[in-house]
Each structure stands twice: as structure tokens, then as C-alpha cells.
Amino acid sequence: MMPIAARGWSAAFALAVLALPWFGHEDPVVALFAGEALPLVFHAGARPWLLPLLLLPAFAQFAVRHDRPRLLVATAAVALAWLCLEGFAINHRGWTWQWLGAIFGGKPTQPALGWGALLYALAATQLAAIGLARQGWCRGDAFVLGAILLILGAILIFVFWPVMTVLISAVRDNHGNFAPAEFWTKFTDRSIWGLECLTGGGNCGAAWNTLALAVVVGLLSTLLGLAFALVALRTGLPLKGPIRLLSLLPIITPPFVIGLALIIMFGRTGFVTTFLYQTFDIPRSRWLYGWPGVTLAQLLAFTPIAFLVLVGVLQSVAPSLEEAAGTLRAGRWRTFRTVTWPLIRPGVANAFLIGFIESMADFGNPLMLGGSFNVLSTDIFFAVVGAAQDQGRAAVLGMILLGFTMAAFTAQRLWVGRARYTTVTGKGDSGVPPPLPLGLRAACYATVLPWLLLTVVVYAIVLSGGFVETIGRDHTPTWKHFLIAFGIDHGVSGWFLSGSAWNSFITTMWLSALSMPLTAALGLITAWLLARQEFRGRGAFEFLTMMSFAIPGTVIGVSYILAFNTPPVELTGTGMILVLAFMFRNMPVGIRAGIASLSQIDKSLDEASLTLGARSWRTFRLVILPILRPAIIAAMVYSFVRAVTSVSAVIFLTTAEYQLATVYIVGRAEMSEYGVALAYSAVLIAVMVGALVLIRLLVGEQRIGRRSANTAETAPVGLAAS
């Protein structure tokens, strides 16, 4: 007997062809009168290639009623295959490939797919999952299978396919002809692999620069993040609240704003430089431009991410283990080294991986501070938009970047290995975490405090720069810049928003809010599949999910235009394409956070739930989700913030109607209107802090049954998504 869900999906399958508009149209009103908005059943007469799609739901209905899982799977597979085939073969202008026209003749056309087609594909996927589960796949668990197929499909459409449309140009010349020889010339170029900097003559290749920078930033951000996490959780320092708040600020700041603040401080005419020059006669130099500046800016930007990952992991380390070590007369240091450290190792590996990949994908900081220090992400951008206009080179560079990411990823898996790190088990834990060893505590303080000071000054500049005449030169307070961006005027028809930033501000906020829960859900379900379910091809699946993170935003932007500008999937010019870009670009963060938390939760909890008769959806909802709450908050916060602050991925996707805040700020900064750029950034930061507090209140605080080391803890509600 098929499960109830099978009937539901089967009905949805039929509904998709009978009731929902099959094709999408840019203008719903026009569509209604043009007849384009009708369901599939009305189109099949004029467009005979749609007929098979119309008939398949009947087969599905039959298969469900008579319990024929094989037939059901076959039907769903044929439906999906035919949908792809006819969709790609026939677009709005006729046959996509010339030779098809030669065989079949005629000039059939069809617009892009709409809601009906979406539901059709969704229902087919779920019916296939139900059919396969019935045949015993994945221990007969339809929910797991359905989730795998759904996420796989989404990743194939929104990551793999667009990225491939760009990468294919690596083996093409500038006119689109097949030219594999060019690939080799471009790949072995001196500007990529040169090692001149070691021999003292000129610059090294972009590939080596990128790699070295990523390793340094990955290591240092992890160390700093760990120091912050230890200070925040394991010491009695009264700075706990401020640390949490401040260490989160860099994430909610567009990266180039940090670069700007660093120039205002340490540039050749920066106030710190000028002060050193005037008081100590230290010559002014341009040391900031190049790898030192980029490293500093990236550390400021990515340490908080490492902190977020590590604080979550550190929190779920069971104190009773550490107490046990103490009882067995291990010293504090020995306890830390042999108990705490091995337990937080997967978290550390994840933090390093994120720092490493973030550094490689970072675009704003190298653009602002890179100088002659070339890295792959900016080189890719300028290969596409620069005077040389060489998309093939961009594709080659993109492949190299992807290769590095893959390598990092493999190394991380080897290091963390197959050891078990679970400490949240079914049994309650009432231990109290021991204080840190003295030397370690001193080291933590020595790194955390100066870094905090630097962060405070950077933010003082960012937040105040918009409210003085010219930051660094003339510090007369003024509302001028703020009013240009956010003025409200009274006119004949009442109050209206006259500031030039309102449009982009409102669009950014609601598109980001929209992508937030979707990204978090996508990321966490994927994490659960990767960490908890055994299925064939899991490694490949995991790699696919990381792909969008590794590719620089510019390439994602161009690839989204190439893939989604024409039928079958036509999304350019809508807000949806921005939401999708946000979702699939930021999903890996949710995955990493989820995996890090899940690897600490004992599988016996899931198993107990399953033994008690709960199916996997119920287990996921009632057992896993509540434990994952800190990871959920982290993923939501992060995806919201990333959406608000991302630049490179969306620069090609914004339109007149869907303007984004960051693109506006970059435009202002380009024109040296730092006042307006900084005022806007300050407003964004304030709004995001507000939003984060709100999210925290809505989703609530984590409660793993642990006693606090510091019973008198009355720290303010930290923003840490911990």
C-alpha cells in the first residue's frame, strides 16, 4: 500500500497540468489576455510535444492506486527527462539546435516555464522518491530520498548548470568556436603561475598569491576566532557581551567599507600614519596596498565567522568529560590538550575551511587594497569586464579556483577523518567547564584585546564617517550625507521618501529577509543528509553543494545571466533571481554550521526516536531541529547578513527595479562620496543589528542542559548566534 503522501503528490501532479499556468510570463495581465497563462492542457493542441507531459499524471495515478512502485518511478523519470528535453530543445525563437530543425522542420516556439511546470517537476521528484522508497532504497525512507532528490535537482539547476555554461568557454575562443589549444595557453600563463616574487623580480602569479593568502587568512582567522570563543565562554572576563557584539560587527559590514576605514587609518595620509610621522618621524609608506592590507582586512572580516563556528562547537563540548579528566588528576593544560582540543577539532577544521574559502572568494578587499597584488577573484572579474574582455581566461581562472577549493575540502576530510566527536548524548550532563590553563588564557587575552581595539576604531570610523563633513580631514558634524541618502520630504501629495537610497534600501531588506529562511532550511536539511544518512555518491553530492561557494560572485552573476536569460528557465530581471543567487551562494555556510553541530550529537538520539516508531521526518522535526537551534540561528543570521552585504554576485543581476544597497554604496565610494557611502553603511549596520536581535527573540535561545561556570552571569543578550 502506498503512503498517503503518494496520493497527495499524485494529485499535485495532475493539478500542475490541469489548473496552474504552465508557462511563465513577464506581465501577468498581458499573459491573461494572450492566453499564455493557461494550464498545460490548453496548450497541448497547438504544441504537440507537450502531450506526453499531459498523459503521464494518469499513469502515476494508476501506479499509486494499484501499488506499482516500478511503474511510478518510471513515469516520474520519463516526466522529468521529457520536461528537460523539450524545454531545452525548443525555446522562444524556435529550435535551439539547428540539426533538430533540419530533421523535424517547422518553427515551434514556447515561452519560459511557469508555476505549473515547477509543481510538475516537484511532484515528479517526490513520486520518484516514494516509488524508490517502496522498493527498499534508503531503508524505505521516502522523506530522506525525497530530500536528496529535491536538493540534488535544485543544485543541478541553480549551481551546476549555470557554472558549466561559463566553464565551457574555457575551451572556446572569443567567437565561441571550439579551440582546446587555447585552453592550454591560457592555463599555463605566466600571470597565473609565475614565481618571480621569490627570485626578487616582480610579482608572483595570481594562483600562488591566492593560495598563500588563503592559507594565512584561514590559519590566523581560526586562531583568532578560537581565542575569542575561549575568552567568551571559558573566562570570567567582563567583556563577554562587548566581544560578542563587536566580533559580529564585521560580518554585517560590506567588506570594502572595512578597506576604506583601513585606508583612512593606515593609508599614506591616514591619521595613524600621519601621527607616527609627526611624532616619531616614521616615514609614511604605502605598505597597506598589497598583501598586508588585504590580509588585515580579510582577518577583520572573517574572524567573526570562525568565532561563530567555534563558539557553537565549544558550547556543545560536554563539561563532564573535562571534569572527569580533572578527577583523574590531569592538569588544566593536559585536559585542554587531550580532551577539549580533540573534541573541538572538527569545528576548528570547519572554521579553517571557511576562512580559506572565504579568502579565495573574497572580492571587495583585494579590489580596494590589492594594488599590484593579483588574486584570482579580481583577475576573473577583470577578465570579464576589463579592456581585454576574455571570458575564456575567466573560465580558466575559475577552474583553478575551484581546484583549490576541492583540495582544501579533501584535506579537511582527511584531517578530521572518521573519528567520533559526539558529546551531546541522550544522557543529561551536569558538569561545569574548568577554567583555561594560565598560559593559554594569557595568550588569548594578548590577541583578543588589541584586536578588539582595532575593531572598535574601525567601526568608530565607519559609523561616524557619514556624519562629518569629510572624514579624516574636516570633522564638523553634519546630517548632509545622511539626508542625501535617506531624506523624507513633504510635497503636495503628502510625505514622500526623497532620499536617493530608499529604493535600494527597501529592496535589499525584503529580498534578504526572503532568502533568509529559505537558505537556512536548504543548508540545514543538506547538512543533515550529509552527516546522518548513508547513500551512494555522497561525496559527489557534498562537492556539488560547495561549488557555488568556491566560485567567485562575478562568475556566478555572469553564469546566472547566461543560464536564466532565455527559456526554459527565464528569471533575469526578477527579484527571484536575486533571492536564488543569495540562497545557493550562502547555503554552504548553513551546511558547515549544521555538520559541525550534528557531528557532536550522538546518533543514538535519532535511533531512539526511530525505535520508538517515529519516521525520519518526525525525528528530524522533534529531535534534530531543537538540538540544532544554535546552528539554525547561525545559518539564518548569516544568510540574511550575507545577502545584505554581498556585492560581486549580484552586480550583474540588479535592474532598475531591483537595486541593491551594496551596489549603490560601491557606486558612491567609486565617486569618492565617502560621506554618503559611510552614512548608508552605518544605517545598514544599525538595521541589521536590530534584525538580528529580532531573529534571536523570535527563534529563541539555545538550551542544552548545562550549568554555567559562572553562576552570576548576567551578561546582556549577546548577538552571538550561539
Partner 1 sequence: MRSARTMLFAAAALLASAAMPARADVVVYCSADEKMCRGLVTLFTKETGIKADMTRQSSGETYARIRAEKDNPRADVWWGGTGDPHLQAAEEGLLAEYKSPMLPKMRDWAVRQAELAKFQTVGVYMGALGYGYNSEELGRKKLAAPACWADLLKPEYKGEVQMADPNSSGTAYTMLATLVQLWGEEQAFDYLKKLHRNINDYTKSGAAPAQAAGKGETLVGVAFQHDVVMVALTGKRPLVTVSPCEGTGYEVGSMSLIKGGRNAADARKFYDWALGASAQQIMPEFGSFQVPSNSDVPVPKEAPDLSSIKLINYDFAKYGSSAERRRLLARWTNEVKGAAR
Report the Cα 617 to chain-centroid distance in Å: 25
Which listed range, 67-75, 345-353, 369-377, 542-550, lies at the site for partner 1 (CB under 8 A)?
369-377
**Cα radius of gyration (the chain):** 27
Q: Which is nearer to partner 1, 574 or 710 (CB)?
A: 574
Contact at 8 Å (CB) between 183 and 170?
Answer: yes
Give the one residue of 64, 263, 344, 461 binding partner 1; rule: CB under 8 A.
263
- The three-point CA angle 280-281-282 to 5° equals 90
Give the one residue of 132, 211, 632, 649 binding partner 1; rule: CB under 8 A.
632
- The reply to whether 696 sits near partner 1 by the rule CB under 8 A is no
Cα(637)–Cα(546) distance, integer angstroms: 19
Touching partner 1, residues 144-183 (CB under 8 A): 174
At 478, list the grid cell.
553634519
- The reply to whether 652 sits near partner 1 by the rule CB under 8 A is yes
- The reply to whether 388 sits near partner 1 by the rule CB under 8 A is yes
Give the one residue of 561, 608, 704, 715 binding partner 1; rule: CB under 8 A.
561
Give the one residue of 70, 92, 427, 707 binding partner 1; rule: CB under 8 A.
92
At 322, list the grid cell.
573535562
- The three-point CA angle 123-128-133 to 5° equals 125
- The reply to whether 269 sits near partner 1 by the rule CB under 8 A is yes
- The reply to whether 677 sits near partner 1 by the rule CB under 8 A is no
- The reply to whether 200 sits near partner 1 by the rule CB under 8 A is yes
Touching partner 1, residues 399-458 (CB under 8 A): none
- The reply to whether 556 sits near partner 1 by the rule CB under 8 A is no
Cα(692)–Cα(513) distance, integer angstroms: 11
**Whose grid coordinates read 623580480?**
201
Cα(240)–Cα(307) distance, integer angstroms: 13
Cα(151)–Cα(129) distance, integer angstroms: 12
Q: Which residue blocks in 90-114 are alpha helix, DSSP H?
A: 98-104
State the angle between helix axes of 206-234 and 341-361 in degrees (0 to 180), rounded to the nearest 10: 140
- The reply to whether 647 sits near partner 1 by the rule CB under 8 A is no
Instruction: Find the shortest distance in angstroms from Cβ 666 to partner 1.
Output: 10
Give the one residue of 3, 326, 371, 437 binding partner 1; rule: CB under 8 A.
371
- The reply to whether 693 sits near partner 1 by the rule CB under 8 A is no
Contact at 8 Å (CB) between 288 and 266?
Answer: yes
Cα(41)–Cα(50) distance, integer angstroms: 9
The number of residues that bind partner 1 (CB under 8 A) is: 77
- The reply to whether 378 sits near partner 1 by the rule CB under 8 A is yes
Which listed range, 386-394, 454-462, 601-609, 703-711, lies at the site for partner 1 (CB under 8 A)?
386-394
- The reply to whether 579 sits near partner 1 by the rule CB under 8 A is yes
Cα(298)–Cα(365) distance, integer angstroms: 7
Instruction: Find the shortest distance in angstroms from Cβ 629 to partner 1.
Output: 10
Instruction: Find the shortest distance in angstroms from Cβ 474 to partner 1.
Output: 8
- The reply to whether 664 sits near partner 1 by the rule CB under 8 A is yes
Which listed range, 177-185, 388-396, 409-417, 540-548, lies at the site for partner 1 (CB under 8 A)?
388-396
Which listed range, 81-89, 378-386, 402-410, 525-533, lies at the site for partner 1 (CB under 8 A)?
378-386
Backbone CA torsion sign across 305, 522, 345, 412: negative
Q: Which is nearer to partner 1, 136 or 200 (CB)?
A: 200
CB-count exposure of residue 178 (10 Å: 0-12, 13-18, 19+): exposed
Which listed range, 135-143, 246-254, 384-392, 710-718, lies at the site for partner 1 (CB under 8 A)?
384-392
Q: Which is nearer to partner 1, 98 or 711 (CB)?
A: 98
- The reply to whether 565 sits near partner 1 by the rule CB under 8 A is yes
- The three-point CA angle 49-55-61 to 5° equals 155
Q: Which is nearer to partner 1, 204 or 720 (CB)?
A: 204
Touching partner 1, residues 202-221 (CB under 8 A): 202-203
Which listed range, 123-131, 139-147, 218-226, 668-676, lies at the site for partner 1 (CB under 8 A)?
668-676
Give the one residue of 272, 655, 707, 708 binding partner 1; rule: CB under 8 A.
655
Contact at 8 Å (CB) between 292 and 323?
Answer: no
Cα(200)–Cα(181) distance, integer angstroms: 32
At 93, list the grid cell.
525563437
Report the Cα 648 to chain-centroid distance in Å: 13
- The reply to whether 650 sits near partner 1 by the rule CB under 8 A is no
Which listed range, 138-146, 296-304, 398-406, 652-660, lies at the site for partner 1 (CB under 8 A)?
652-660
Q: Which residue blocks in 341-437 are alpha helix, DSSP H?
A: 341-361, 364-369, 376-385, 391-416
Touching partner 1, residues 42-81 (CB under 8 A): none
CB-count exposure of residue 73 (10 Å: 0-12, 13-18, 19+): buried
CB-count exposure of residue 490 (10 Å: 0-12, 13-18, 19+): exposed
Which listed range, 82-90, 368-376, 596-604, 713-721, lies at the site for partner 1 (CB under 8 A)?
368-376
Buried b (16+ CB within 10 A) or exposed e, 408-425: bbeeeeeebeeeebbbbe
At 356, list the grid cell.
580559506
Strand-strand pairing, 494-497 and 488-491: antiparallel
Touching partner 1, residues 487-516 (CB under 8 A): 500, 510-511, 513-514, 516
Q: Which is nearer to partner 1, 173 or 542 (CB)?
A: 173
Q: Which is nearer to partner 1, 108 or 131 (CB)?
A: 108
- The reply to whether 191 sits near partner 1 by the rule CB under 8 A is yes
Contact at 8 Å (CB) between 264 and 368?
Answer: no
Which listed range, 193-201, 291-299, 488-496, 598-606, lies at the site for partner 1 (CB under 8 A)?
193-201
- The reply to whether 522 sits near partner 1 by the rule CB under 8 A is no
- The reply to whether 27 sits near partner 1 by the rule CB under 8 A is yes
Give the one residue of 452, 667, 710, 715 binding partner 1; rule: CB under 8 A.
667
- The three-point CA angle 329-335-336 to 5° equals 160
Give the one residue of 4, 328, 656, 712 binding partner 1; rule: CB under 8 A.
656
Q: HSE of 430 in the Cβ direction (CA atoms, 13 Å)? A: 0
- The reply to whether 385 sits near partner 1 by the rule CB under 8 A is yes
Contact at 8 Å (CB) between 371 and 289?
Answer: yes
Give the one residue of 57, 87, 194, 523 binding partner 1; rule: CB under 8 A.
194
Contact at 8 Å (CB) between 173 and 179?
Answer: yes
- The reply to whether 711 sits near partner 1 by the rule CB under 8 A is no
Cα(710)–Cα(650) distance, integer angstroms: 45
Which listed range, 39-47, 346-354, 441-449, 663-671, lies at the site for partner 1 (CB under 8 A)?
663-671
Q: Which is nearer to partner 1, 193 or 445 (CB)?
A: 193
- The reply to whether 237 sits near partner 1 by the rule CB under 8 A is no
DSSP state of 251: G
- The reply to whether 690 sits near partner 1 by the rule CB under 8 A is no
Cα(310)–Cα(230) distance, integer angstroms: 9
Give the one residue of 698, 703, 705, 711 binding partner 1; rule: CB under 8 A.
698
